[in-house]
A and B are shown apart, each in its own frame.
Chain A
Amino acid sequence: MRGEALYVDDLVIEGLLYGRLLHSDRARARIRSIRLPKLPPEVTVVDWRDAPARNQIHIVQDDMPIFAKDEVAYVGDVILMLVGPDEQELQNLLSRIQIDYQELTPVLDPQLSQQVFFDYHYGHGQVEQAFAEADHIFSETFHTGLQEQAYLEPNGLIAIPGNRKMTVRGSMQCPYYVKTALVRALGEAADQVQVVQEVTGGGFGGKEDYPSVLACQLAVAALKTGRPVKCILNRREDMATTTKRHPSRCHYKVAVKAGQVTAMDIDVLMDSGAYTTLSPVVLQRGIIGAPGVYRIPNLRVHGQARKTNTVPNGAFRGFGAPQTFFAVEMMMSHIAAALNQEPLAFKARQLVSQGDETSTGGRYHFYVSLPDLIKRAEELSHYREKRQAYARQTAQRYRRGIGIALIYHGCGFTGNSERDFIKAVVKLKKRTDDRVEVLASNADIGQGIKTTFAKIVADQLALPLEQIIVNNPDTDKVPDSGPTVASRSLMTVGQLLAQAAARLKQVWEPGKEQVIEEHYQHPEYMIPFDMDRFAGDAYPTYSWAVSVVELELDRLTGTADILGAWGIFDVGVPIDYNIVQGQMQGGFLQGLGYACMEHLTYSPAGVPQQTSFTDYIIPTAADVPNLVTDLVNNPFSHGPYGAKGAGEMPMVGVAPAYLEALEQAMNCGRLEHVPFTAEDVLDRLSDADGHLHPDFDTWTWQSKSEAESQPADPRQRKG
């Protein structure tokens, strides 16, 4: 670490102007008129009228305007930009702009929203029959909350107009996404748009879609002024107005016969926020994973994403999976408890294994390592012993609990996207000095892709690492090898690089410039995915993980101390052990925040309430002083050196493991939402004391033998 890296805000560019955004302060309104203060000559207003081609931003769909024209759809929607040489002056002028709104009632609850953005169905087997024949039928509804990516560096870009060329530089994950959005927004030919990634201080998905938005706004401003224009969001602005994790409501109905789950009927609703951004893809991944890591012979899944007048929700580590994996893990645990079984034993009996069908009728083509991971997790955490011991504890104030969750990550893009849309290309350019430059569009955003790419190429070519050059991607120099998402960069693009390097080695001529190009090939074993029916192999392979959380609850304060935390992961083969450990530890904390701290709410008027790190609390290392992460190798035949996806997994399993542990410590019934804060704990404990009536509990249980619905009794639950 030398501290030499420059963020986009550190770049010195001649003639630079600043752009400051005017955000809507209404959640849903028509704009009747805009009254500007008298503007000094050096300040320019940029709005929808200035969009040269179309006032739309291409993400997956094109529903988000570059600048709001006559209506705003969330608090934060961008109405215009002021551009000028003095940022403070712009800020003062912004505060003097008066907007005459005609207010409309905002829709904040997706369950009340009439506007369905996306609606998907899939399933297999005989669901109705399975329910008819079941011994028990359980149902329950789960909720998950918003989450902010909380990257170190806020979003920021500079647009630089050139001679028949527009260059955008800055903080981003996906240079070619930004480029495509710019080409469409400006109506330019592709070679007139250049996008360069600068050193990026974290993304976690939050710089997958949003940079396309800011890039279009800035490019319009740069076109109008003819000068470079920079906009770095301040922290509050970034937290208040850029994409977050989709809140969800998941309803599960599950049939059990002879101790095995025979059917699941799942309904998933995601809150898309004001625009569609990446909601379709997030929803797809979420519902594909909805049955979890279990063999479910009869399955019906319905998923929707609906519009609300809130910040558009987008990509965030896990991408739909944290929501549904939370729900299914809690559901399985609750069923086990109802049937008087130890949750892990109940789950372990119905795990998928190699050769089984996936939820979408694809195949688990490769070895499913979950039993090995569980074994390792038990060795390290003594889960079973502790689970039993804590079920017998009698302490009053401090009570302990331990929980476990089993999850997977579908590695890479969902469905055939790699084959049909991305069509990744990489190049290796050997220079005359025999140094080799990696040309790929994947961005190092702190996940270490520069290191791992270089290691792969160096090893293939038997060169020292220093001889491999990986620069930040520049679309004028690198081919489109796809975005930096979904753990695809290493597995998919890294594999292309390994192949390219192997070919280069064969033709290597010292002192000569040589270029090798490699194109993506869809693995031949994959069952083609039918996106309309959700049928086939959704992913080329899966990574697996087990998370264990042990905690001690203070029943007087509702706060919990983490006593131990374990994450066991199958990432294929780690290309760089330290990088993977870094991902696993950081991801664990992000998962912990999701489970119990990161609480983000809107006021009744749709104003986000937590827009600073003082109010939006993310965990620090002090919250998990004893975190153990471990890897179990399970090489993937089609990944470089056996590598597959890694970065999402540590995030996904923590919330269900934490809540299972908390349930045991609280010993007063089922928990069904995250974040589950200390406030929630105390509310629930006082409910259990009989002060309040539990109206939160959506659990139902019908048994064939009793042929009647058993009402929920939160005190009945056993560890």
Chain B
Amino acid sequence: MVNAYVPADLGEALRLLQEKTVIPYAGGTDIMVHPQAEAAYLFLRQLPELNQICTTDQYFVIGSAVTYQALLTQTAVRLPDILLQACRQVAAPPIRNLGTLGGNICNASPAGDTLPVLYALDASVRLARLEPAVRDCQNLTPTIGYRILPLRQFIQGVRRTCRRPEELLIEILIPQTHDTLTYYEKIASRKAQAIAKLSFAGAASVSQGQLQRLALAFGSVGVTVVRDSLIEAKIINGSYDPEAAVQAYAALLRPITDQRSTASYRKTVCLNLARDFLTAVQAQVTAGRRGR
């Protein structure tokens, strides 16, 4: 017998999460691949707090229960194109109508399509729970406590995050950077409805011939998305040219061979794409210098 709870607002959801053993259920598209007969599910889709998309001074704020389809069709906020590109390549319309960004993150699969992009955009997540101090005091309305973690810290391994059992992921925060070059490729065996063999997201901000910001993120080639600040820093400060950077990534990336692809393919393509992206970045830098 499956139990399900349908809270009306975030407060109720967090209370249920604290009092009962329930599994947060957003679109269910990961959960329902292996449904558990005995489990109790906490539905999140209907929560208004988790369904908003807005901007603040610094951030794009996306509710964790916003579906891919909603992200792709909303017109309120001009989201980074690279994120939309990744969303467009998730599965096929039926899954995009249900699947959420929050689910993609909390599922923490190294093949999650939005993760390399979110890593490259320096995204953070906001988690919420009922404050323990208030729990016993029945007269007070319980207050909700929040914490914000960089996504890279939040995801710890294959299907492992540092979400505490009583926490919900409520928002994804994406800094409003001014990237002058973004690059995204998902490599899968077919055009729709396929798990990535690997994916690559690159973002760079070049201003007047100066590389200000650089991010390269690789999906499906490690236990989590791979991003290396040291290599990026060396590229930014000029110690690595594209080829040297590619060599550094060659030493870093250790993909595996599985039923979907081979280690050598994954690595070769990652490096090909990194090289292609870095060459384009360099061209932008050179052009900017010339323009000065």
Contact = CB atoms under 8 A, between A and B. Distances in A.
Contacts of A623: 190-192
Given A615-B260, A682-B268, A557 B192 contact: no
A556 B273 contact: yes
A619 B187 CA distance: 15
B193 A679 contact: no
B287 interface: no
Interface in B80-95: 92
Interface in A416-443: none
Contacts of B194: 617
B190 A557 contact: no
With a 10 A CB-CB cut-off, give which of A559, A597, A601, A618 has the most chain B CB atoms. Answer: A559
B259 interface: yes
Contact of B187 (A559, A601, A620, A683): A559
B276 A397 contact: yes
A620 B92 contact: yes
Main secondary structure of the interface of B (DSSP, over half): loop
A610 interface: yes
A609 B190 contact: no
Interface in B187-205: 187, 189-195, 197
Contacts of B190: 597, 617-620, 622-623
Contacts of A615: 259-260
Contacts of B193: 620
Contacts of A677: 189
A610 B259 contact: yes
Given A556-B269, A557-B272, A609-B259, A617 B189 contact: yes
B24 to A, nearest CB: 23
Interface in B206-242: none
B191 to A, nearest CB: 4
Interface residues of A, number: 23
A479 interface: no
B261 interface: yes
B199 to A, nearest CB: 11
Contacts of A679: 261-262, 264-265
B185 interface: yes
Interface residues of B, number: 22
A221 B262 CA distance: 43
Contact of B269 (A558, A597, A617): A558
A686 interface: yes
B30 to A, nearest CB: 12
Interface string A394-419: 00010000000000000000000000
A678 interface: yes
A397 B259 CA distance: 27
B265 A558 contact: yes
A677 B272 CA distance: 17
Nearest to A593: B190
Given A397-B276, A556-B273, A558-B269, A620 B259 contact: no
A678 B191 CA distance: 13
A21 B193 CA distance: 31
Interface string A460-480: 000000000000000000000
Contacts, number: 53
A614 interface: yes
Contacts of B259: 601, 609-610, 615
Given A397-B276, A556-B273, A686 B268 contact: yes
Interface in A619-646: 619-620, 622-623
B272 A556 contact: yes
B243 to A, nearest CB: 15
Interface string B167-203: 0000000000000000001010111111101000000
Contacts of B185: 557
A558 B269 CA distance: 8
A197 to B, nearest CB: 31
B265 A682 contact: yes
Contact of A556 (B92, B191, B276): B276
Contacts of B191: 620, 622-623
A679 B198 CA distance: 12
Interface string A95-109: 000000000000000
A624 to B, nearest CB: 9
Given A557-B269, A557-B273, A558-B265, A678 B192 contact: no
Contacts of B273: 556-557
A222 to B, nearest CB: 29
Interface string A660-698: 000000000000000001110011001000000000000
A152 to B, nearest CB: 15
A192 to B, nearest CB: 42
A618 B265 CA distance: 20
A323 B45 CA distance: 50
A683 B265 CA distance: 8
Interface in B260-286: 260-262, 264-265, 268-269, 272-273, 276
A677 to B, nearest CB: 8
A679 B262 CA distance: 7
A609 B259 CA distance: 6
A623 B268 CA distance: 24
A511 to B, nearest CB: 52
A679 B272 CA distance: 13
Nearest to B265: A679
A414 B190 CA distance: 36
Nearest to A620: B192
Contact of B195 (A614, A682, A686): A614
B175 to A, nearest CB: 29
A557 B187 contact: yes
Contacts of B189: 597, 617, 677-678
Interface string A179-218: 0000000000000000000000000000000000000000
Contacts of B260: 615
A637 to B, nearest CB: 43
A601 B194 CA distance: 19
6 contacts: A557-B269, A558-B265, A601-B259, A619-B190, A678-B197, A686-B268
> Shortest 4 CB-CB distances between A and B: which pairs?
A617-B189, A622-B191, A622-B192, A556-B272
Given A557-B272, A677-B189, A682-B265, 5 more contacts: A557-B269, A559-B187, A609-B259, A620-B92, A620-B192
Interface of A: 397, 556-559, 597, 601, 609-610, 614-615, 617-620, 622-623, 677-679, 682-683, 686
